[in-house]
Chain A
Amino acid sequence: MTLLDVTLLTPLLGGLLLALAGHRPIGGWINVAVGVVTFGASLAMALDVFAHGPRLSSGRMFYIDAFNVYLVVLTAFVGLTTSIFSRPYMRHEVERGRVTDRRLRLYHSMYQCFLFSMLLALSTNNLGILWVAMEAATLTTVLLVSLYRTPEAIEAAWKYFILCGVGIAQALFGTVLIYFAAENKLGGDRDDTLLWTVLHGAAGGLDPAVIALAFVFLLVGYGTKVGLVPLHNWLPDAHSEGPTPMSAVLSGLLLNVALYALVRVKMLVDASLHTNLAGHLMMGFGLLSFTVAGLFLHRQHDVKRMFSYSSIEHMGLITFGFGMGGPLATFAALLHMTVHSLTKSAIFITVGHACQLAGTQRIDHIRGLIRTQPAIGWGLLLGTVAIAGFPPFGVFISEFLLLMATMKSWPWLTIPLLLGFGVAFAGLFRHMQRMVFGEPPPGQKPVEANMLPVVVHLLLVLVLGLAIPGFLSRWFEQATVLISGASPL
C-alpha cells in the first residue's frame, strides 16, 4: 500500500463511515481525524516526490509530479483546517435549527467524498478520469449548496448543477477530441492513449487542428468551474447560499483543481500547436474575469457574495499568469494559487463566524465586529488586508512577481492590471471598514469560535510573504520547470 493509496482511500472510506455516523456528536471529530490522516499521508508523499522525482503508479493510473503534489498537499491541508472549523460551526447551525440530523450526516459524508474526488482529479494520470472526478466534485457539492433548503439555496444549487453540468460536458467533448487525435497518431489498438504521460510524450505529433478545437471546448468546460467570466454566474450564488465551510473549500480548492486541469491540458496543447493560442485565450479570459469581478465587488450587499467575487478576480489573475507562460509568470501564478487558497479559506472561516455573530449575511447589518469579538474582527480585517495584496503578506509577493512578468513581456497590460488592483482594493474596503469598526447593534453577543485555522493560514501567508522557505521555493521551481520548461531563478 503506497502513500498515494492512503491519501486517496482515507477520505473515501471516511465518507462512507460518516454516511453512517455523521449525525452523531462524534461525526465532527471523525471528519477532523480523517483530515489529519489524509494530510499526513499527502505530506509524506510530497517529501517522497521531492526527494525522488515524479512517481508513476503501477498500472500507470496515477502520476504524481512536482506540480500536482503541491496541490494535493494544499487540498489536504485546507480540507483539514476547514474540518476543524466546521465542527463547532455545524453544531451551532444544528442548535439554530437550520440543519437536521439527516442533513448533518449528508454534509459530513459529502464533505469527505468531495475531498476524495478533488484528490483523485489531481493525482490521476488519465484525462478521462480527470473529467469523471471533476464531475463527481460537482455532484458531491450540489446537495451541500442546497443544504439549508431555503428557496434561495435551492435556486443556487440548481444553477450550479445546470451551469457546471453543461460546462463540464464541453470538457468531455474536448477530451474525446484529444483522444481522437491521439488515436490517429498512436494507433487505435492500444488502451493507454488517454494517459497524460503518453499524450505528453507524443504531443508534438498530434494533429494541430483537432487539438486547437479540443482546447476551446476544454477551456469553456473547465473554465466554467474555474469561474471565468462570462461563465461565472453559478459561483457567487453557490458560495453565498451554501454552508460556510463549503464556501471555504469551494473557493479555496475546487477552483484550483479546475484550473489545474486546464493547465495540464495547456501543456499538451502548447507542445502540439507550437503557437501561443492557448496562452492568449487564457490571458484574455483571465483579464476579463479580473476586471469584471473587481467592478462587481462594489455593488454587493452580501458578504459571502462579495468574497466570492474576489475569488473570481483572483482566479482570473492566476489564469492570466498561466496564460502568459514564461518561468516568472508561471512561478507567480503557482505561488498565487497557494496564497489565495490559504487566505480565502481563512476569510470564509472568519466570515462564517461573523455571520453567526450578526445573525445575517447582509453587509449593512454586520457592525462592530472588533468591539463584540476582537478575534473575529481582527481576523476579518487582516484577511482582507492580505487578500487585497498588502505587504508583507504573500499575496503581495505573487501579485508583484506577476506584474514584473507582465511588464517584461506585455508592458501595456500592466495598466489594466494596476487599475484592477486599485478597483478591487476599493471595492473590498468600502464594505470592510463599516463591518469591522463602528458601533455594534445592541444585544450582539460573542459566539463560540475556533480561530486556530485562521491564525495558521494567515501566519503561513505571512511567512510566504516575508521569505519563502528554501525547500518550498525549490518545489515551486520544479513545478515551474515542468510547466514552462525553464527555471525562473
Chain B
Amino acid sequence: MGIATLGLYSQAIILFAALALFTSFIMLAQARMMPLIFTFAWQGLLLAVVSVLVAIVSDHPHLYISAALTFTLKVVLIPWLLYRLSVQLNMQYDAEVIEHPTLLLLGGVALVIFSYYVAQSIVQLSGLATRNTIAVSIAIELLGMLLMCARKSAVAQVIGFMSMESGIFFAAVVSTYGMPLIVELGVAFDILVASILFGVFFFHLRDSFGSLDVVRFNRLSEANQPMPLRDAAGELSPGDHP
C-alpha cells in the first residue's frame, strides 16, 4: 500500500505531521531564544491544522474544539507569554551554547527510528496514515524530552515540555479522534495553569540565581551536602571558586 493510494486529505495529514516533526528538529538545534519560541508556535499551528483536517476527514465535529484549543494555547497564548517574559527578563537576544549539536541531531534521528520501531507493534490495528502519525507523535514527544535534557536554559526546558504535550495531544487526535471533551478541557486547563506558573518561576529563578541557566541549580544534589563546618571553610578557600 503506497502513499499515492491514500485520499488527498490523508496525504495532507501525513505531510503536516512530517512538517511538525521537522519543527521539532529545528527546535533541537536552535540556540537563540526568539526563533525557538517562534518555531514552537509554528509547530502548534501545524498540529492545529492537522486537527482540522482530521475533523474534516473523519467527520468528528468536536475535533474543531480541540483544534481551537491547540491554536489558542500553543500558537497564541504560550508563545506570547514566553515572548513577553523574555522581553521582561531582557533575554530576547540571548543564545545558549549547544554542546555537540551534531550528536544531538543524530540522537534525534535515532529517537525517530525508535518511535517507528515502537509503533510497529501496533500497526495491525490501523491504516497507513495512522501508522505514520502515531510514530510521528511518539517521536515529537521523545524529541521534546531530548530538548529538555540537552538544554541548559529554563526557557528551552519549558518549550521542550510544551512540545511533549503537543506530541501527546497530536497522538490523541490522529489515533482516536481526540480524547473525550471533558478530558481535553481538563488537560488544556492544566497546561494553561502550568504555563502561568512557569512564568512566575522565571522571575523567582532569576531573583535567586541571577540567571535561568539550570546548570547553576545545584544546591540540592546528594553529593553536594557538606557538613556545616566545612561549608563555612569552603567559602573562604579560594580553590572552590575558580
Chain A residues with CB below 8 A from B208, complex form: 149-151, 154-155
Q: Are A365 and B228 in contact (CB under 8 A)?
A: yes
Whether B219 pairs with A179 at a CB distance below 8 angstroms is no
Q: Is A159 in contact with B190, judged by CB distance below 8 angstroms?
A: no
Residue of B122, B197, B214, B220 touching A237 (CB-CB under 8 A) = B220
Whether the Cβ atoms of A126 and B180 lie closer than 8 Å is yes
CB distance from A54 to the nearest CB of B (A): 22
Contact present for B197 and A143 (CB under 8 Å)? yes
| A213 with B121: CB separation less than 8 A | yes
Question: Does the CB pair B190–A139 fall under 8 Å?
Answer: yes
> Which residues of B (184-199) have their CB < 8 Å from a CB of A?
186-187, 189-190, 193-194, 197-198
Residues 127 to 146 of chain A near chain B (Cβ within 8 Å): 128-129, 131-132, 135-136, 139, 142-143, 146
Whether B182 contacts A146 by the Cβ 8 Å rule is no
> Residue B175 at the A interface, CB < 8 A?
yes
CB-based contact B193/A139 at 8 Å: yes
Partner of A176 from B172, B214, B217, B228 at Cβ < 8 Å: B172
> Cβ of A389 < 8 Å from any Cβ of B?
no
Of the candidate stretches A72-80, A161-169, A377-385, A463-471, the one touching chain B is A161-169
Residue A65 is within 8 A (CB to CB) of chain B in the complex: no
Q: Does A157 contact B (CB under 8 A)?
A: yes
Q: Report whether B209 and A151 are in contact in the complex, using a CB–CB cutoff of 8 Å.
A: yes
Stretch at the interface among A22-30, A180-188, A281-289, A452-460: A180-188
B50 at the interface (CB under 8 A from A): no
Q: Which of B164, B189, B200 contacts A166 (CB 8 A)?
A: B164
Query: A475 on the interface (CB 8 Å rule)?
Result: no
Chain A residues with CB under 8 Å of B183's CB are 126, 128-129, 131-132, 194
Residues of A within 8 A of B209 (CB): 151, 154-155
- A179 and B176 contact, CB distance less than 8 A: yes
Interface status of B38 (Cβ within 8 A of chain A): no
B22 in the interface (beta carbon within 8 A): no
In the complex formed, the residue of A with least CB distance to B141 is: A173
Chain B, residue nearest A193 (CB): B180
**By the criterion CB–CB under 8 Å, are B175 and A128 in contact?**
no
Q: Is B235 an interface position by the 8 A CB rule?
A: no
CA distance A299 to B198 in the complex (A): 33
Interface membership of chain B positions 144-187, coded 1 if the CB is closer than 8 angstroms to chain A and 0 otherwise: 01001000001001000100110010011001110110110011
Which residue of the partner chain A has the closest CB to B209? A151
CB-CB under 8 A from A142, the residues of chain B are 197
Q: Does A93 contact B (CB under 8 A)?
A: no
Chain A residues lying within 8 Å of B190, measured Cβ to Cβ, are 132, 135-136, 139
A194 and B179 within 8 A (CB): yes
Q: Which residues of B contact A157 (CB under 8 A)?
A: 201
Q: Which residue, of A131, A173, A237, has the highest number of chain B Cβ atoms within 10 A?
A: A173
Q: How far is the CB of B213 from chain A (nearest CB, A)?
A: 12
CA distance A129 to B180 in the complex (A): 10
A295 to B77, CA, bound (A): 46
- Chain A's nearest CB lies how many Å from the CB of B195? 11
Question: Cα distance A173–B225 when bound, in Å?
Answer: 36
Question: Contact partner of B219 among A155, A161, A165, A166, CB < 8 A?
Answer: A155
Least CB separation from A208: chain B residue: B121
Residues in chain A near residue B121, CB distance under 8 A: 209-210, 213
- Expressed in whole angstroms, the Cα–Cα distance for A300 and B121 within the complex equals 44
A169 contacts which of B164, B172, B179, B219 (Cβ < 8 Å)? B164
The answer to whether B233 has its CB under 8 Å from any CB of chain A is: no
| Minimum C-beta distance from A458 to chain B (A) | 30
Q: Give 3 closest A-B pairs by Cβ, nearest first.
A: A128-B183, A132-B186, A151-B208
Q: A176-B179, A194-B180, A213-B121 are in contact. List 7 more A-B contacts (CB 8 A).
A: A132-B186, A154-B201, A179-B179, A180-B175, A210-B122, A301-B227, A302-B225
Q: List 15 A-B contacts (CB under 8 A).
A: A129-B182, A132-B187, A136-B193, A154-B201, A155-B219, A156-B220, A157-B201, A158-B205, A158-B217, A162-B161, A176-B175, A180-B176, A210-B125, A301-B225, A364-B227
